[in-house]
């Protein structure tokens, strides 16, 4: 009878073998190739943005063949790129439920930096709520692991013991940490890249910093902190709406704004071109302006 350890070892090996059918090699930089995940059977591949450094891309498929690929689009802020390989009949990845990612869960980082899959074992050590990357990208869930990100593993999957994919590994989103992008973020970004070649982001044309409101005014507007405008770009949507230096934004399109992260969270792609209400404080008085959200170039 196999021991518990032997059974666990066999199950993990089976998980890697199963995952390998949906993991490809991405040759898109001068140094060591990276990894990618089969997004769809007709050749869409999801990988890390930072590993795609040239236009001529080759994909090493699980069956050992190598095919050409083109860049569909990339989003540096979430470190996601989508490639289209000249291939069909691929095995698309099976994704785990995002709710199943738990602290202490055994996971495998699996990559294909050469012809064969490679794996390393670890645990999920942090699961947190929505967070914003250093590049301003919105990620639905913060998943940090202690897996060792060997060279070429970026763009490959974080794999559960069942063989399903928990997320896409990236070594570029947080310095010195192994981060996995959850499936919901990958779906949102990949869909945008396939549709537009980029992730559309809203633009106001302002620089701002949090500012505490006087007590009486805070009671009137229902919050103690707003965003004080320290610059307004000429010709920007903010200027066209009548915003001026010194205004304090307290809400945009019904969403309370206290910090820049709040404002960035409102400026998502589906609001581009939309006329929304902005509640501001100017000269100690509350005002409402209508602003049409622009698109960041």
* pLDDT tens-digit series, residues 90-142: 999 999 999 889 999 999 999 999 999 999 999 999 999 988 888 878 899 99
Instruction: Provide DSSP, 102-141.
Output: -TT-EEEEEE-SSSS-EEEEEEEEEEES-EE-TTS-EES-
Question: Of 22, 35, 49, 79, which residue is the catalytic one?
Answer: 79
**Segment 77-93 mean pLDDT:** 97
Minimal CA–CA distance to 62: which of 24, 114, 13? 24
**Segment 238-244 mean pLDDT:** 96
Report the distance separating Cα 88 and Cα 72, nearest Å.
Answer: 16
> Residue 152's pLDDT is what?
96
* pLDDT tens-digit series, residues 174-196: 888 999 999 999 999 999 999 98
Report the distance separating Cα 223 and Cα 74, nearest Å.
Answer: 38
Torsion of CA 185, 190, 195, 200, to 10 degrees: 50
Report the distance separating Cα 149 and Cα 63, nearest Å.
Answer: 24
Q: Is 196 a catalytic residue?
A: no
Q: Is 287 a catalytic residue?
A: no
**Segment 6-16 mean pLDDT:** 93
Q: Give me the percent of the chain exceeding a pLDDT of 70.
A: 99
Minimal CA–CA distance to 267: which of 80, 132, 84? 132
Q: Is 50 a catalytic residue?
A: yes
Q: Mark residue 50 as left, alpha or beta (left: phi above 0; alpha: psi -120 to 50; beta: remaining).
A: alpha
CATH 3.20.20.100 fits 202-295, yes or no: no
Question: Domain 1-199 class?
Answer: mainly beta
Question: Of 22, 35, 49, 50, which residue is the catalytic one?
Answer: 50
Residues near 189 by beta carbon (within 8 Å), at least 6 away in sequence: 75, 78, 80, 199
What SS3 state is found at 265? helix
Is the predicted pLDDT of residue 1 greater than 70, yes or no? no
Residue 80 CB neighbours (<10 A): 27
Minimal CA–CA distance to 156: which of 113, 186, 193, 123? 113
Q: What is the pTM of this model?
A: 0.83
How far separated are the first and last CA of the chain, in Å rounded?
62
Max CA-CA distance within the chain?
79
* Cβ burial 56-65 (10 Å sphere, 16+ → b, else e): ebbbbbbeee
Report the distance separating Cα 16 and Cα 217, nearest Å.
Answer: 59
Report the distance separating Cα 150 and Cα 109, nearest Å.
Answer: 9
Res. 3 pLDDT band, cuts 50 70 90: confident
Report the distance separating Cα 86 and Cα 242, nearest Å.
Answer: 51
> Residue 2's pLDDT is what?
65
Minimal CA–CA distance to 190: which of 280, 70, 78, 57? 78
Res. 85 pLDDT band, cuts 50 70 90: very high
Question: Of 138, 154, 164, 170, which residue is the catalytic one?
Answer: 154
> Residue 5's pLDDT is what?
87
Extract the tokens encoding 78. Answer: 């979430």
**CATH 2.40.10.120 occupies which residues in the chain?**
1-199
**CATH 2.30.42.10 occupies which residues in the chain?**
202-295
* pLDDT tens-digit series, residues 147-162: 999 999 999 999 999 9
* pLDDT tens-digit series, residues 39-79: 999 999 999 999 999 989 999 999 999 999 999 999 999 99
């Amino acid at each position: 009878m196999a021991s518990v350890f032997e059974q666990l070892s066999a199950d993990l090996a089976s998980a890697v073998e199963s995952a390998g059918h949906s993991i490809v090699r991405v040759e898109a930089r001068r140094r060591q190739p990276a990894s990618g995940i089969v997004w769809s059977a007709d050749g869409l591949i999801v990988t890390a943005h930072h590993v795609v450094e040239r236009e001529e891309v080759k994909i090493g498929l699980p069956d050992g063949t190598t095919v050409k690929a083109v860049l569909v689009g990339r989003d540096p802020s979430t470190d996601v790129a989508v490639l289209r390989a000249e291939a069909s009949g691929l095995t698309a990845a099976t994704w785990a439920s995002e709710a199943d990612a738990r602290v202490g869960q055994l996971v495998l980082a699996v990559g294909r930096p050469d012809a064969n899959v490679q794996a390393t074992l670890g645990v999920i050590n942090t699961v947190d709520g929505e967070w914003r990357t250093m590049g301003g990208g919105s990620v639905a869930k913060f998943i940090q692991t202690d897996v060792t990100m060997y060279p070429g593993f970026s763009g490959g999957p974080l794999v559960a013991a069942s063989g399903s994919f928990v997320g896409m590994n990236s070594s570029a989103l947080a310095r010195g940490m192994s981060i996995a992008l959850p499936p919901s973020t990958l779906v949102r970004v990949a869909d945008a890249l396939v549709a537009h070649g980029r992730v559309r982001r809203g633009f106001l044309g302002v620089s701002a910093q949090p500012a505490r409101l006087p007590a009486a005014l805070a009671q009137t507007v229902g919050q103690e902190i707003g965003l004080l405008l320290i610059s307004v770009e000429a010709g920007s949507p903010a200027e066209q709406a009548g915003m001026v230096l010194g205004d304090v934004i307290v809400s945009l399109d019904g969403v309370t704004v206290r910090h820049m992260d709040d404002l960035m969270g409102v400026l998502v792609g589906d609001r581009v071109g939309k006329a929304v209400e902005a509640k501001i404080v100017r000269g100690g008085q509350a005002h409402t302006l209508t602003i049409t959200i622009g698109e960041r170039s």
